[in-house]
Amino acid sequence: MRPYSSEPHRDVLTASQADAVDWALKRQQGPWSETEEKAFRAWLADNPDNQSAMAQCEAVNATLQNVQAEQLAGLRAQLLIDKSQLDPSRPPKTKHKPLQIAAIACLPMLLTAALSAAWYQFWPVEQHQFQTAVGEIKQVKLGDGTQLTLDTNTQLDVQYTRARRTVEISRGQVRFDVQRDPSRPFTVTVPQAQVQVLGTVFDVRWTPDHSGTEGPVITVKQGHVAVEHLINDHWAPFINYAHRTELIPVQQLALNAKGKTIELRNLQASALPEWTAHRVTVLNARLDELLAELNRYSTVPWRLGDQELASLKVSASFDVRNKRAISEILNRALPLKVIQQNQQQLLVRK
């Protein structure tokens, strides 16, 4: 079924493509009810051609979303005019027949022109993939002067176009020192969240396999960022975020695996992460949480020989490259000792 008209635009699109356009317009204009969502999903499941047509429609829509606002508004308005003229439920207007034919004929040209402009603006002009090994911290400089510092065991993809700059983090932690360019917004994406910024210094961490950090953590050192998070439960191509949180300097936002806010904290400047200098600093942290963090930087793991030690609290700063110094600090601060055993650093009671 189609929410707008009962006949496909046979002179321009296939039936499935015309249906897909109708569904896309309906979702964009809203409101979108549960009944419509069920009907939409039923339509998708009814025919593989419908799924293919919807994917094509979403690809076009995603590109058109990048066109300047006034161009997009004009194109959508023209499309609605054309569709109203094609609606057989309206009384025929013979004198407008040439207009209807012209509208049908011009629609592909309008879309083609818009897509051509969008492709020019959003075709990649710079692409990179960077990664670090366990224990490695690396700095890279991008073409616009933006500097990235990659933490241990980190992987990311960079894509620059003439209209935007995007970084996608697959795992790990990255510090961004972004070169200001209002004409090309800078966006960092991780699962369930994206960070938008013009120019600032901030960290984005995505280490879901690490104890205590199941979701993204965003920390702002300088400037101002907006974090969009918690993806609405809609069909995947229509990804949109339910919440927007703005962060100022020395603020940190922690999210859970679904993108919900766990904590928004105001930090002390001295408490900002120091990992770019190969340091891990903790204040009244559990020993097991400290070891989990140290293990991110080491191929020789830190382990507890006695689980009762896990809840001991630690306040100290460690150079992750110096295992001997870490052992000495722990020996002095806690009732334990560190021994080498079976290719691991084992913590046992004194």
Distance CA 208, CA 132 (A): 17
Rounded percentage of the chain residues whose pLDDT exceeds 70: 73
Here the tokens at position 157 are 């993809």
Distance CA 245, CA 270 (A): 23
Q: Tell me, what's the pLDDT at 212? A: 65
Domain limits, the chain: 15-122, 126-270, 278-349
Q: What's the distance, Cα to Cα, between the start and end of the chain in Å? A: 74
CB 175 within 8 A of CB 149: yes
Residue 250 has phi, psi (to 5 degrees) of: 65, 30
Q: Which segment, 45-59, 233-247, 258-272, 291-305, is predicted with the most confidence on average?
A: 291-305
CB 319 within 8 A of CB 325: yes
Q: Tell me, what's the pLDDT at 61? A: 63
Higher pLDDT among residues 55 and 194, named by residue: 194
Instruction: Identify the band that residue 70 occupies on the pLDDT scale cut at 50, 70 and 90.
Output: very low
CATH topology for 278-349 is Phage tail protein beta-alpha-beta fold (3.55.50)
pTM of the entire predicted model: 0.67
Which numeric CATH code is attached to 126-270?
Answer: 2.60.120.1440
In which element (H, E) is residue 254 found? strand 251-255
3-state secondary structure of 273: coil
pLDDT exceeds cutoff 60 at 78: no
**Per-residue model confidence as pLDDT tens digits over 242-295:** 888 999 999 999 998 888 899 999 998 877 889 999 999 998 999 999 999 999
